[in-house]
Copies of this chain bind each other. A is one copy, B any other.
Amino acid sequence: MVNVSVIGASGFTGGELLRLLALHPEAEIVYATSRRYADTPVSGAHPNLRNVLDTVFTDSSADEVGKKSDMVFTATPHRVSMKIVPRLLETGTKVVDLSGDFRFSDKSVYEKYYDTVHESPDTEAVYGLPELHRSEIKKAGLVANPGCYPTTCILGLAPAVKAGLVDPERITADSKSGVSGAGASPKSSTQFCMANESVTAYSPTGHRHMPEIEEELRVFDPGVQVSFVPHLVPVNRGLTSTLHCYLKKAASEEEVRAVYSDFYQGEPFVRVLDVGEVPKLSAVRGSNYLDIGCFKIDEERNRLIIVSACDNLIKGAAGQAVQNMNIMLGFDETTGLSAAGLQP
């Protein structure tokens, strides 16, 4: 058993980390920190954990948490993580950070899109997408857990970009996320009456996840440019991206699908659907699976459409973080992550 802690454990992602770790056979939860909920049981913020996890929130310092933990998850906002993570690393613990602070190799891109100064520019991190970086994650002290949108867009596009199937400069990623992606704090746009019976595009030209998607895909083709527009849709959980591409070389739908199934051969959490089958949120909701499908070609217009989907709080956040932990600590990668999706 290893000692694990969650800093910033009262939000949606923190709650999911606790839920997954509570049933993880190799992990023992040491700290769940929350300034607001300090000294109350975790079930105060997460009533689903009543009788499941009897941990009490604390307001412990990063130093204290780091010293007592083998692994710390920082589910803290950007700008907070950049302050806490270096202190945690100094205590010798390993860290999976769920903010955007350590996702970019080029700090100037970070500073442009997050409109802030990076206070810890030399802290090295590995981008925590196991399907692309498993071997580096294995050796990492700090893993930067990917954003929810990038998880679906990168995994949905990487095989086609790597294989040179699609025009890298004409990629459109139109993404739709459940409202939990916006966090648990009350705001006007996520009020029920605003979000329900509604679909809204936001940050249409400068969302922080766009450069994150491009950085990862440019490993395969430096010319990649993505027209990324995220949308809020009236569902609690789930995120799906429709990836509009143009074929650069002739290929059949089955050939395209084969490129994907080869690429993800042996991956425990990526499921490549059949040609024409579109991922359903209900198939991934509550699970760490990410589904990729569609693979339809419009020959007249040379278009190729790919659709990917995952649970934004699990494979798009907490589940992927636990998957990273499993890799970093040498556990079987699927430990504690075997739940199937909840349908309906």
Listed in ascending order, the chain A residues whose CB lies under 8 Å from chain B are: 12, 15, 19, 22-23, 46-53, 170, 172, 174, 176, 178-180, 184, 186-188, 190-202, 204-206, 225, 227, 229, 231, 233-238, 240, 242, 244, 246, 271, 273, 278, 280-287, 289, 291, 294, 296-298, 301, 303, 305, 307, 338-344
17 contacts between A and B (CB under 8 A): A23-B339, A47-B280, A47-B291, A48-B285, A48-B340, A172-B172, A174-B242, A176-B176, A179-B192, A180-B344, A186-B187, A192-B196, A196-B235, A197-B238, A204-B278, A237-B342, A342-B342
A205 to chain B, nearest CB (A): 4
Check A294–B180 contact: CB distance below 8 A: no
Check A235–B199 contact: CB distance below 8 A: yes
* Chain B residues within 8 Å of A289, by CB: 50-51
Known: A176-B199, A242-B231, A305-B201. A49 touches B340 (CB 8 A): yes
* Chain B residues within 8 Å of A187, by CB: 186
Docked Cα-Cα span, A200 to B283, in Å, equals: 12
Check B231–A234 contact: CB distance below 8 A: no
Check B48–A282 contact: CB distance below 8 A: yes
Docked Cα-Cα span, A50 to B277, in Å, equals: 13
Cβ contact of A271, chosen from B23, B51, B287, B294, cutoff 8 A: B51
* Chain B residues within 8 Å of A339, by CB: 23, 339
* Chain B residues within 8 Å of A179, by CB: 192-193, 196
**3 closest A-B pairs by CB:** A48-B341, A193-B344, A205-B298
